[in-house]
Amino acid sequence: MEERLRALGARLDDLMESARKTKNYAAKINIDEIKRQKDEVERKLKELRGPAREAWVEVREGLSAAWNDVSGALNKAKAKFKK
């Protein structure tokens, strides 16, 4: 998961640079939202390392849902660049 987050961060940086170059403000807003979602995934991942191991199932479900949200939002943002 950590590797996925690093790769996502790099992809978001690339998309943000493209959005800046093309002055695509709507895409910048979408990318900022994706970054907030990514931060939420990272927060949930940190919970896994904490003392709440007995809550693993809940955290895992939340992490999975957050990852799906981030991934879906990224695909939508990429689609806007292709238009």
Q: Give 22-83 as a 3 state SS string.
A: HCCHHHHHHHHHHHHHHHHHHHHHHHHHCCCHHHHHHHHHHHHHHHHHHHHHHHHHHHHHHC
Token pair 């996502």 is found at 8
Domain ranges, residue 34: 2-82
Q: What are the tens digits of pLDDT across the range 16-62?
A: 888 888 888 888 888 888 888 989 888 888 877 766 666 677 777 78
Question: What confidence score (pLDDT) does residue 47 get?
Answer: 75
In whole angstroms, give the CA distance from residue 29 to residue 40.
17
Reported pTM: 0.56
Question: What confidence score (pLDDT) does residue 79 get?
Answer: 83
Question: What confidence score (pLDDT) does residue 52 get?
Answer: 61
Average pLDDT over residues 68-81: 85
Question: What confidence score (pLDDT) does residue 50 get?
Answer: 65
Domain count of the fold of the chain: 1
